[in-house]
Amino acid sequence: MRKLSIRDLKLAEKRVFMRVDFNVPISNGKIRDDMRILQTLETLRFGLERGARLVLASHLGRPKGKPNPEFSLRPVAELLSDLLGRPVKFVNDCVGPEAESASLALKPGEVLLLENVRFHPEEEKNGEEFGKQLAKLCDGLYVNDAFGTAHRAHASVVAITKFVDQAAAGLLMERELKFLGDALERPVRPFVAVLGGAKISDKIEVVENLMKVADSMLIGGAMAYTFLKAKGMPVGASRVEEDKVELAGRLLDEARKRKFRLFLPVDHAVAPSLEQAAQMRVVEMDATPVGWVGLDIGPKTVAIFSDEIARARTVVWNGPMGVFEVEPFSWGTIAVARSLAAVTSTGVTSIVGGGDSMAALRKSGLVDRITHVSTGGGASLEFLAGRQLPGVIALTDKAGH
């Protein structure tokens, strides 16, 4: 970690502005999935145990820059009170007199949650004046524990850091940077990358970057069909990004020239359409029926992928192998999740990123059997693509870095 950590800050009695990721699904005032809240509790408790006065800020949904009760963080304050075992104060804005007086009134070990920062259009514009107003709520100390928003140059992520004395990573952010950074910079080899999901266009840079650092790559999901079409394989009516076929072909050529181990599905589960799942059958890739859609990897592919994962000492997985939300097409994704869990139990480092991959892990009940589950879908993708994240760049460098 070249950046300051919350561990490096003198927190006692100080008002600390902490950017967290409480962007959780809420319906009728009830939180449907509290995983993101649970994942930042360690950082919150670390600050509270050291006598900090915590001012928490987050976005929720896309309220389009104006107040909208549907996107209020108030239900989060109620749940957080229960989880922390102490009252969490809440204010109806994130800047202005009410927020400022509430932050000044905090005592050591107390918590204030601000209303949704995206109720102000300046948040997404990275407005400097707005960042300055947010910074008034703390005593020069800023902590970012929201890895999921680190790829966005927004005011509560970047602009605010210009108006504080020290900007540090929270424990969750620190862990994300360590696991993802180690995988890219100093992986224990063999390093296997597993990529899936719908579109190659979302992951081109990830494929290109990981081909430089991984020892092998397994590609499933709908994005595999663009590569398979580039190879001249019959893909039926499977989803193909026609404008990316040439690029996929170039990547395959490069892999061949470099003798890079790149694996594509050899069989798959197909149906006339997603709605006609009952007619599903498994066929070899070269026997794909005309007009049928590939919706999951098949058992031969799972066996090949599992063998390759079994050779690994580091595995990074991003994106499902099929339409895992719809039965019976979750089989391939869950089989890959089981392979990851199995090697993790032998000491392999497994890292899973992306919302769909996390959802598949939860569905398979294997979250606790993976070394590190990344909280940031877009952020982890950009990191794996080798890009600098604005929210990380904005943090204060440690002395000597």
| Residues belonging to the active site | 36, 199, 355, 378
Which residue is listed with tokens 């670390």?
46
Query: What's the rounded Cα separation, in Å, for the pair 238 and 297?
Result: 12
Q: Pick from 391, 376, 375: which is nearest to 126 by CA?
A: 391
3-state helix, strand, coil in the chain (%, to 5): 45, 15, 40
Residues linked to residue 167 through DSSP beta bridges, in sequence order: 142
| Number of C-beta neighbours around residue 362 at 10 A | 14
Radius of gyration of the chain (CA): 23
**Would residue 319 be called left, alpha or beta, if left means φ above 0 and alpha means ψ between -120 and 50 degrees?**
left
Query: Which residues have C-beta within 8 Å of that of residue 160, sequence separation ≥ 6?
Result: 17, 19, 131, 132, 134, 135, 142, 167
Across the beta sheet with 372-373, the strand order is: 261-263, 216-219, 191-195, 314-318, 349-353, 372-373
Q: Per the structure block, which two tokens stand in for 37?
A: 């809240």
> Closest Cα partner for 341 from 321, 361, 311?
361
d(C-alpha 36, C-alpha 41), whole Å: 9
Phi, then psi, of 269 in degrees rounded to 5: -90, 125
* Cβ(240)–Cβ(226) below 8 Å: yes
Q: How far is CA 157 from the centre of its chain?
A: 16
| DSSP labels, 158-225 | TGGGGGSSEEEE-HHHHHHHHHHHHHHHSPPSSEEEEE-SS-GGGTHHHHHHHHHH-SEEEE-STHHH
